[in-house]
Amino acid sequence: MKNLLLPAVLIFIGLVLAGCGSAPPLVSDKYLNDSSLLTENPCGAPCFQGITIGQTTFADAERLVRDNPLFKDVQSQENPPQAAWSAVNGDQCCVMTADPSTGIVNQLLVYVAPNMRVRDVLAKYGEPAYVAVPKQDYSQTEAVLGLIYPKQGNLLWVMPGDGQSTLDEDDPIVIVLYLNPADFDDLLATAELNGWLGYVSVAEYRSADPVLTPRVTVTPAQ
């Protein structure tokens, strides 16, 4: 099985959106119908469906996934520890990785059906600490902004429309990335991020001066 997920530091600058081949759509009812980020049922961030990032072992997490009636078609490998699976009535939705040295889950990415809105997230968690702003659109019709909540260990990708669109409170959350909150200081040290500007255009977010610039330069793996 190919490498399923880029390192978290690359996700922070949007490179997770630059996969090989045709990119899947960001908005689809065939993704996982899940709002547990808001309901905290069965658990709240940084926990997803019983898997707590930074605590749960990969073996236990894989067992939880295989036993969960919400999921199907689980694919996994041990070296490095990675797994991917689909929503029971839909498309591939989820990707999980673990630290090879400890076997502890360190990242979990979930494509979600467009049921959670920006206004719902802000009502639950307040304004994001930072906003990740990819320099390119995801596709001709879809652009994204990333709302970052270090305390919860979340990066939430929201889809306002295309690159000419303006962020709106009704825009859907399309991807939820769960990370270990304890890792955020190290991750933020490599990131260039904007502040929360409110409901303004994607272009304004892209042209704004970053409030956080990299303190550490990451050398790409050879």
Q: Which residues pair with 176 in a beta bridge?
A: 110, 156
Residue 14 lies in a domain: yes
End-to-end CA gap in the chain: 20
Residue 2 lies in a domain: no
In single-letter form, the type of residue at position 188 comes to L
Residue 184: pLDDT over 90: no
Q: Identify the weakest region by mean pLDDT among 39-43, 129-133, 188-192.
A: 188-192
DSSP structural state of residue 195: P
**Domain limits for position 197:** 8-207
Residue 3 has a pLDDT of 36
143-149 and 154-161 beta bridge pairing: antiparallel
Q: What angle do CA 175, 179, 108 make, to 5 degrees?
A: 55
Find how far residue 85's CA is from the centre of its chain: 15
Residue in the structure block whose two tokens are 């050398």: 219
Residue 218 lies in a domain: no
Q: Are 133 and 194 in contact (CB under 8 A)?
A: yes
Range 84-113 average pLDDT: 93
Residue 220 lies in a domain: no
- Percent pLDDT > 70 in the chain is 86
Q: Identify the weakest region by mean pLDDT among 23-27, 65-69, 101-105.
A: 23-27
Split into its structural domains, the chain has a count of 1
Find how far residue 79's CA is from the centre of its chain: 22
Residue 199 has a pLDDT of 98
Q: Identify the weakest region by mean pLDDT among 27-31, 196-200, 212-216.
A: 212-216
Q: What would the two tokens of residue 168 be?
A: 């709106």
Q: How far apart are CA 191 and CA 56, in angstroms?
A: 26
SS3 assignment, position 47: strand
Residue 218 has a pLDDT of 53
Residues 10-51: pLDDT tens digits? 343 333 433 334 567 889 999 999 999 999 999 999 999 999
Mean pLDDT of the chain: 87
Residue 150 lies in a domain: yes
Q: How far apart are CA 135 and CA 129, in angstroms?
A: 19
CB neighbour class for 165 (10 Å; exposed up to 12, middle 13-18, buried from 19): middle
Residue 222 lies in a domain: no
Residue 17 lies in a domain: yes
CA dihedral 191, 116, 45, 132 (to 10 degrees): 0
DSSP structural state of residue 90: S
Residue 116: band (very low, low, confident or very high) from pLDDT cuts 50, 70, 90: very high
Residue 214 lies in a domain: no
Q: How many CB atoms lie within 10 A of CB 21?
A: 5
Residue 157 has a pLDDT of 94
